[in-house]
A and B are shown apart, each in its own frame.
Chain A
Amino acid sequence: ETGVTQTPRHLVMGMTNKKSLKCEQHLGHNAMYWYKQSAKKPLELMFVYSLEERVENNSVPSRFSPECPNSSHLFLHLHTLQPEDSALYLCASSQDLLTGVGYTFGSGTRLTVV
């Protein structure tokens, strides 16, 4: 148990479906992140939230929509995805944005778009 829990662990969805990824942390952290991990590519930062406010939207297509209802929960809403969106989606948290203590990552959601 890493302290950051992601559900579901695996998701297969069609290009016309709508689904949501969930991330939950009870570490008392104030910053939460979504990353995309594709094979042979560096991790890509998608979204950053600090104290429930979005501080980064890293040129992510609008078919990905984040939501942070409180400091413990982060969602990634998905709709009309493309096959190239298949990847491992990782949620992470940190005490604050500007500390150097590093992230705590969840185990990820393996997304396959068919």
Chain B
Amino acid sequence: AQSVTQLDSQVPVFEEAPVELRCNYSSSVSVYLFWYVQYPNQGLQLLLKYLSGSTLVKGINGFEAEFNKSQTSFHLRKPSVHISDTAEYFCAVTPSGTYKYIFGTGTRLKVLA
């Protein structure tokens, strides 16, 4: 069975500072990895995904994530955050070739002025 752990439930950071949101997963099979963002009163929006190939994945809004197979991690990073990045971020994993996504519990990013 697969599982996803987002260790930080909340991350406060000042505007223009860098941020890293952590995601660890466990799986005995190869997986696809995703990050989604949820703004207040909205659904989830796909930020980026890792399917195969280069372990550094770039997404929308200046975010990137690095797949680390040995550490089973897929941390999300942004070098300089904006107030508008305040949202909840969800990491998700699905075994390659299936539709059964497993979502983490989310990390609430709060960007402070």
Contact = CB atoms under 8 A, between A and B. Distances in A.
A98 B46 contact: no
B11 to A, nearest CB: 16
A41 B105 contact: yes
A4 B43 contact: yes
A42 B41 contact: no
Interface string B3-45: 0100000000000000000000000000010101000011111
Contacts of B43: 2, 4, 6, 90, 92, 105-108
Interface residues of B, number: 25
Interface residues of A, number: 25
A56 B101 CA distance: 13
A41 B49 CA distance: 22
Interface stretch (B66-74, B75-83, B90-98): B90-98
B44 A103 contact: yes
Interface of A is mostly: loop
A45 interface: yes
A72 interface: no
A43 B51 CA distance: 21
Interface string A85-112: 0000010101001101111111110000
A74 interface: no
A81 interface: no
B63 interface: no
Given A41-B105, A102-B34, A102-B49, A48 B44 contact: no
B101 A45 contact: yes
A42 B102 contact: yes
B101 A100 contact: no
Interface of B: 4, 32, 34, 36, 41-46, 49, 51, 90, 94, 96-106
